[in-house]
Structure 1
Amino acid sequence: MTRETRRILLDGNPVDVVRAGEVLVAGDGRTVAVADAQHLPPVVPSKIVCVHLNYLSRVRELQTTLPPAPTYFHKPVSALNAHEAAVVRPEGCKWLNYEGEIAIVIGRTARNIAPAEAGDYIRGYTVANDFGLHDFRDTDAGSMLRVKGADTLCPIGPGVVEGWDFHGKRIRTLVNGEVKQDGTTDEMQWDMHYLVADIARTITLQPGDLLLSGTPAISRTVYPGDVVAVEVEGLGTLRNHVVSGPTSIRTDVGAQPSESEEVLSTAQGGDWEFRGIRKPQPAGS
């Protein structure tokens, strides 16, 4: 049997609630309708770790092969966002892409565990959208910090579902009601337990930490005004809308948004990072 918990603002305070049908119930007995709740991220992690490439449909789309073991990047916790909240595309940026995913939520401190043990350290699962600003694809030498780390680019929720079996579950991303991504967890080369055990070999995972487990094919650009929904069978729907930021990227410091061949290829359906293709270099470089 599954159990879903959420975190909402209730009378101005962050409160953990349990879902009972279309009602959310606080520990003190207060209730609020699901449709009326102001959601917060359902957990407060100390770290957010994301796998680069895992779903076979994405591998085929990119016309590449998987590495012998998964590779990862890190989103800062300041990127966290919630169900029904706005995702902000900064002024001066054009190439904001969605990536519908499932996030693993750690329930117990995990360090140096076997894949067969990993399930005992997982509290549950939630829906995630690993948004990326590919305008910054040419910076940070593959760390993805500026691409994936901007404020609001990690919405998760609506809740954490415990007791959910991740095998054979459908995941879809819809933009303005139109299906864009459509896959299943059976496409994953490395399952949830493997990912947890892999990271925990050298990095201690704490309760609340998040591991984003990869996305199916067809990550594409979205624009201010678009509504992006990620549906996962048994976990629910995470919905967000895209808005334009009130200020532009500063031009007096740091790398600037760009539209290189790599940026455009990634935003429109390619991913040079996994193709092993070296960009042409300027003469004399």
Structure 2
Amino acid sequence: MATKEFRRILLDGNPVDVVVEGDELVAGDGRRVAIADATHLPPVTPSKIVCVHLNYRSRVEEMMTSLPKAPTYFHKPVSALNTHEGAVVRPEGCKWLNYEGEIAIVIGKTCRNISPEEAGDYIRGYTVANDYGLHDFRDTDSGSMLRVKGADTLCPVGPGIVEGWDFRGKRIRTIVNGEVKQDGTTDEMEWDMHYLVADIARTITLQPGDLLLSGTPAISRTVYPGDVVEVEVEGLGTLRNHIVTGPTPIRTDVGAQVTESEEVLSTAQGGDWEFRGIRKPKPPQP
């Protein structure tokens, strides 16, 4: 099956769905814009963003743990949604912002109580995602990951949705300032895309546009303001973002505060940094 890529851009001040044709984006009314000149928007408007915790074997080995018998999940608020070329904001007062290059499943039609064999019929396509996390908050929220993964801008997706793409045997890489940091393939996944959709849809109705993030390979590390982070997936393209510092400090008069526990540092800098004497925490940059 041939693939086809759809994007959503701001065109003459309006959000418009476009089709990729070579180096151009073509609107339904025939208007064309060069990809290099386009202002991208998130390619979908999801009602929910569901993410699997661990799925890639290299990540499991890196964290020196084992997979559960079935996948576990967390939820990113839709207010975390961001786009290709968008700024990812590290709030003032936080230090440990990590990337996680991923592939996002895009639901195409209402989905509930289906088998893995049926799941492909409910998937519209796939897009690239980066599941950023603020590990400064890792010691809070009883493992729900809400404040770690849910802050504004921490879920860029795009640049488009590719229909007709086969997820099997595809390479995924994360590149920071031109240097490859993550490099894996979807063959590492314990649970494939169809399994994840069917699992969630047992109890949660999935709607068109909903996103399921399918996990990340090894070597999630801290990035800093000024860094440019790209997630490149074979057949889906490259999602690019840059890191900036938020103008407003994290409030200290309410809620749990940021911490730098061993759990925070070992997760942000690699689960083995203390034991191997490598990957010691990098001094945070301004």
Query: What amino acid sits opposite 1:176 in the alignment?
Result: N
SS of equivalent residue, structure 1 residue 16: strand
SS of equivalent residue, structure 1 residue 229: strand
Aligned equivalent of 1:259: 260
Q: Does 1:6 align with 2:3?
A: no
- How big is the shift at 1:79? 0.1
In 2, Cα distance between the equivalents of 1:146 and 1:188?
A: 26
- How big is the shift at 1:127? 0.0
In 1, Cα distance between the equivalents of 2:143 and 2:271?
A: 15
- How big is the shift at 1:62? 1.0
After TM superposition, the score normalised by the length of structure 1 is 0.95
> Unaligned stretches of 5+ in structure 2?
273-286
Q: Does 1:93 align with 2:94?
A: yes
Aligned equivalent of 1:159: 160
- How big is the shift at 1:233? 0.1
Query: What amino acid sits opposite 2:19 in the alignment?
Result: V
Aligned equivalent of 2:58: 57
Aligned equivalent of 1:44: 45
Pairing of 1:31-180 with structure 2 (within 5 A): 31-180=32-181
- How big is the shift at 1:63? 1.3
CA RMSD of aligned residues (A): 0.7
- CA distances 1:128-172 after superposition (whole Å, capped 9, x unpaired): 000000000010000000000000000000000000000000000
SS of equivalent residue, structure 2 residue 225: coil
In 1, Cα distance between the equivalents of 2:47 and 2:206?
A: 9
Task: Give percent identity, aligned residues only.
Answer: 87
Aligned equivalent of 2:244: 243
- How big is the shift at 1:270? 1.9
In 1, Cα distance between the equivalents of 2:263 and 2:133?
A: 14
In 2, Cα distance between the equivalents of 1:139 and 1:27?
A: 47
> Unaligned stretches of 5+ in structure 1?
272-285
- How big is the shift at 1:178? 0.1
In 2, Cα distance between the equivalents of 1:41 and 1:163?
A: 20
Aligned equivalent of 2:284: none
Aligned equivalent of 1:204: 205
Moved over 3 A (4+): none
In 2, Cα distance between the equivalents of 1:26 and 1:258?
A: 48
In 2, Cα distance between the equivalents of 1:270 and 1:40?
A: 35
In 2, Cα distance between the equivalents of 1:91 and 1:258?
A: 14
- CA distances 1:164-212 after superposition (whole Å, capped 9, x unpaired): 0000000000000000000000000000000000000000000000000
After TM superposition, the score normalised by the length of structure 2 is 0.94
SS of equivalent residue, structure 2 residue 190: coil
SS of equivalent residue, structure 1 residue 262: helix
